[in-house]
């Protein structure tokens, strides 16, 4: 899988920057105390595609890639997810991470890739 050059995409970055993030759905506490299943309810494919469409595809080096310990090509993966190409995105992550499923669960993305996103930083008021 080759890198998808963000500068060649004909997208409206300003419009993408205005898209709100979806809230993460959680299971009820009364359910969670009875098992060891996930707390968060997984996104539907449509929700994942919407969230991926919020990526503004920064020029290289993208802050999210720089912040990722495995240097995953996050913008290219977001483009593939946005297009509904979930298996291709998974193949892309496997090029830099031997266990992307585990990393997806234990990685503190809020502090790393998501925390370094220029789109997110521009929307927060400190």
Q: Each residue of 97-121: pLDDT tens digit?
A: 888 878 878 888 888 888 888 776 5
Beta-carbon-side half-sphere exposure of residue 126 (alpha carbons within 13 Å): 3
pTM: predicted TM-score of the whole model, two decimal places: 0.82
Q: SS3 for 10?
A: coil
- pLDDT, residue 125, reads 40
Query: In the chain, what are the domain boundaries?
Result: 45-126
Q: Each residue of 11-65: pLDDT tens digit?
A: 888 888 888 888 889 999 999 999 999 898 999 999 999 999 999 888 888 999 9
Q: Does residue 7 have a pLDDT over 70?
A: no
Looking at the chain, how many residues does it have? Answer: 126
CATH class of 45-126: mainly alpha
């Amino acid at each position: 899988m080759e890198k998808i050059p963000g500068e060649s995409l004909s997208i409206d970055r300003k419009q993408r920057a205005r898209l709100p993030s979806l809230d993460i759905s959680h299971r009820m506490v009364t359910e969670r105390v009875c098992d060891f299943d996930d707390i968060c309810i997984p996104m539907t494919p449509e929700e994942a595609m919407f969230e991926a469409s919020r990526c503004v595809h920064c020029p290289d080096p993208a802050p999210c890639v720089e912040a990722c310990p495995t240097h995953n090509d996050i913008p290219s993966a977001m483009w593939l997810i946005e297009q509904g190409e979930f298996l291709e995105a998974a193949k892309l992550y496997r090029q830099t991470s031997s266990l992307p499923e585990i990393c997806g669960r234990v990685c503190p993305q809020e502090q790393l890739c998501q925390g370094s996103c220029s789109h997110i930083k521009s929307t927060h008021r400190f």
